[in-house]
């Protein structure tokens, strides 16, 4: 085996981990793949044999690439009428590719990714690397060009924001599915009261339609969300199919390979606390069907 082949095999051993780090940093599968590819290019220009901890080195490279991407995104982002949601990870078949199933099981809920998107780039990096992947603050500090104490403060601020804004979903996937099934039945029947039964009083309904004419701010509160849903239900509910979205019970509309929309749910205490509807065509191109 020549050195290039050995280097490629070593990189492949870390690819899944690097993609997981990048997706949590960016909330975008396509951008995560770009960040991982950049790490490969940098490795190919380096002497891998001289790197004592290749996994740590690659994680640092990906983190720095993601940090630059987040800073660039923030500087050019225009004000949105609606909500910017992450690219979803979708499964429509429990017997799907094992690698995809592993990725799905280890994925992060849409509601948490929405909150992470409100953090500063440095806060997000510190939280993702330390709280999600256990990277020591000494290493985080070198990436964000801060002291370890300052890196610890970044993660602490991020942690408070996450705890205050991201609900902890019910862990039982079967129970989540039951709630989503009841939700779909109520939507199909046009039953306002039945919808209120499955919605948390403070439920939030977010729609990512890109920058098109359908963009709108989130609806908040069970009555407002129920009215918004029933206005859409006659057209869309018959097209809905059960799925797993970012590791939680969800729906997709239309054909599995080219869905017209993906819906993620956050179920807390047996009720739906958040509904995330993604109809942005650019993001749906990344969706993995069965």
Residues 201 and 217 in one domain: yes
Residue 91 lies in a domain: no
Strand partners, 274: 204, 266
Average pLDDT taken over every residue of the chain: 88
- The average pLDDT across 123-129 equals 97
Residues 149 and 18 in one domain: yes
Residues 190 and 265 in one domain: yes
Domain with 249 in it = 173-284
CA-based torsion, 124, 262, 290, 34: positive or negative: negative
pLDDT at 83 over 80: no
86: left (phi over 0), alpha (psi -120 to 50) or beta: beta
Residues 8 and 127 in one domain: yes
Residues 17 and 69 in one domain: yes
Residue 73 lies in a domain: yes
Higher pLDDT, 83 or 236: 236
pLDDT band at 290 (very low <50, low <70, confident <90, very high): very low
Residue 76 lies in a domain: yes
What does the pLDDT read at residue 237?
A: 87
pLDDT band at 289 (very low <50, low <70, confident <90, very high): very low
Residue 144 lies in a domain: yes
Return the residue matching tokens 């997000």. Answer: 124
d(CA 184, CA 137): 45
- CA nearest to 119, candidates 168, 57, 70, 180: 70
Contacts of 111 (CB under 8 A, 6+ apart): 166, 167, 169, 264, 266, 273, 274, 276
Residue 108 lies in a domain: no
Number of domains in the chain: 2
Residues 143 and 70 in one domain: yes
Q: Which of 5-9, 123-127, 202-206 is predicted least confidently?
A: 5-9
Tens digits of residue pLDDT in 176-230: 999 999 999 999 999 999 999 999 999 999 999 876 656 678 999 999 999 999 9
Residue 99 lies in a domain: no
Residues 242 and 126 in one domain: no
Tens digits of residue pLDDT in 152-169: 999 999 999 998 787 789
Residue 17 lies in a domain: yes
pLDDT band at 40 (very low <50, low <70, confident <90, very high): very high
Residue 231 lies in a domain: yes
Residues 160 and 178 in one domain: no
What does the pLDDT read at residue 3?
A: 72
Residues 15 and 129 in one domain: yes
pLDDT band at 101 (very low <50, low <70, confident <90, very high): low
Q: Which of 109-113, 119-123, 268-272 is predicted least confidently?
A: 109-113
pTM of the model: 0.86
| Residue 75, number of CB atoms within 10 A of its CB | 7
Higher pLDDT, 123 or 285: 123
Residues 12 and 151 in one domain: yes
Residues 139 and 211 in one domain: no
Q: Which of 97-106, 196-205, 281-290 is predicted least confidently?
A: 97-106
What does the pLDDT read at residue 78?
A: 52
Residues 149 and 220 in one domain: no
């Amino acid at each position: 085996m020549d050195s290039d082949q050995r280097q490629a095999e070593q990189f492949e051993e870390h690819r899944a981990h690097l993609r997981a780090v990048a997706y949590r940093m960016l909330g975008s599968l396509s951008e995560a793949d770009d960040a991982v590819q950049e790490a490969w290019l940098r490795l190919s220009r380096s002497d891998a044999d001289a790197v004592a901890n290749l996994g740590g080195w690659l994680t640092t490279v990906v983190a720095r690439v993601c940090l630059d991407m987040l800073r660039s995104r923030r500087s050019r982002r225009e004000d949105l009428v609606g909500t910017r949601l992450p690219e979803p990870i979708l499964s429509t078949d429990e017997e799907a590719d094992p690698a995809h199933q592993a990725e799905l099981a280890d994925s992060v809920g849409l509601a948490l990714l929405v909150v992470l998107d409100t953090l500063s780039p440095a806060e997000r990096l510190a939280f993702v690397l330390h709280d999600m992947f256990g990277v020591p603050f000494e290493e985080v500090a070198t990436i964000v060009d801060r002291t370890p104490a300052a890196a610890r403060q970044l993660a602490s601020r991020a942690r408070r924001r996450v705890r205050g804004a991201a609900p902890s979903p019910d862990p039982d996937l079967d129970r989540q599915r039951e709630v989503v099934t009841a939700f779909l039945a109520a939507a199909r029947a046009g039953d306002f009261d039945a919808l209120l039964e499955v919605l948390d009083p403070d439920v939030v309904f977010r729609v990512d339609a890109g920058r098109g004419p359908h963009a709108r701010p989130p609806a908040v509160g069970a009555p407002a969300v129920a009215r918004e849903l029933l206005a859409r239900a006659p057209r869309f509910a018959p097209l809905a199919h059960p799925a797993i979205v970012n590791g939680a019970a969800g729906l997709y509309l239309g054909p599995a390979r080219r869905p017209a929309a993906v819906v993620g749910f956050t179920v807390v205490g047996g009720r739906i606390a958040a509904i995330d509807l993604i109809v942005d065509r650019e993001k749906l191109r990344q969706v993995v069907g069965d």
